[in-house]
Amino acid sequence: MAEFVRLEVADGVGTIRLDRPKMNAISVQVQGELREAAAEASERDDVRAVVLWGGERVFAAGNDVKEMADLSYTDMVRISSSVQSAVTAVARIPKPVVAAVAGYALGGGCELALAADVRFAADDATLGQPEVLLGIIPGAGGTQRLSRLVGPSKAKDIIFTGRFVKADEALAIGLVDRVVPAAELYDAAVAWAARFATAAPWALRAAKESIDRGLEVDLDTGLEIERQQFAALFATDDRTVGMRSFIDNGPGKAEFKGR
């Protein structure tokens, strides 16, 4: 039984809930529990979309600095893959994932939010990558995912300075996709995720993999990834159901079975 991270499922939406008092610091144990929760969310057929949620007070204030303070270079060589793999496990969930960012999402917490497909932020949320102020750099994908999301110049400004980014600026630069009143944040994220509870899961998976993998390669290779995913969906029952429903009843009325 996980101590600090749990998966809660209702009506097709799985919530990966971080709950480590006081600030959801991401320790080695939390990293392991995040990997387990991501694997469970990936495998369960009753989970069609995922919300990342740290509670109303804070998303995650960063990796556990106290745990890292006395580590040597060789210690970090040994465990650094754990730091990255927890975030990567969330990024690789083959379903739509939305991060609901309340309070602080700093350092490793910001990197976890970056692993989501979209980010909703409370109007009083604060994001940032302040690792340079500790004499290090982001180590769980921040230098890579942030630059891909907001562009290299803005990412360098945020990472070089270690400054905090308020919700309004985060929205303006594309770091978050929607800003809502804090009291409405979780419900807004769940409502977004719930849109996919009756969608075609194999099509969503193919779309996500095509986009994510395509960003890692040149255009021609990305187009080939898309072509293969597109053709593969013609082996699914949902493709037959979707096209037949469109012909008979018009768009948006298909009842997909997830096969």
Per-residue pLDDT of 204-249, as tens digits, reads 999 999 999 999 999 999 999 999 999 999 999 999 999 999 999 9
Residue 42 has pLDDT above 90, yes or no: yes
- Alpha-carbon distance 213 to 153, whole Å? 23
- Alpha-carbon distance 178 to 241, whole Å? 33
Distances 93 to 11, 45, 158, 246, 248 between C-alpha atoms, Å = 18, 13, 27, 29, 33
Ranges of CATH 3.90.226.10 domains, the chain: 5-194
Residue 82 has pLDDT above 90, yes or no: no
- Alpha-carbon distance 210 to 212, whole Å? 6
pLDDT at residue 95, as a whole number: 98
- Alpha-carbon distance 25 to 15, whole Å? 18
CA pseudo-torsion sign 236, 238, 239, 241: positive
Q: For all residues of the chain together, what is the average pLDDT?
A: 95
CB 35 within 8 A of CB 62: no
- Domain 5-194 top-level CATH class: alpha beta
Residue 1 has pLDDT above 80, yes or no: no
- pTM for this prediction: 0.93
- Alpha-carbon distance 30 to 83, whole Å? 10
CATH number of the domain located at residue range(s) 201-249 in this protein = 1.10.12.10
Weakest-pLDDT range from 61-65, 84-88, 139-143, 186-190: 61-65
Ranges of CATH 1.10.12.10 domains, the chain: 201-249
pLDDT at residue 49, as a whole number: 98
Model pLDDT for residues 66-80, shown as the tens digit of each residue? 888 888 899 888 877
List the alpha helices (DSSP H) in the chain.
28-43, 65-68, 73-91, 108-114, 142-150, 152-161, 167-173, 185-194, 201-214, 219-232, 237-249
pLDDT at residue 17, as a whole number: 98
Distances 27 to 5, 84, 162, 228 between C-alpha atoms, Å = 11, 12, 21, 39
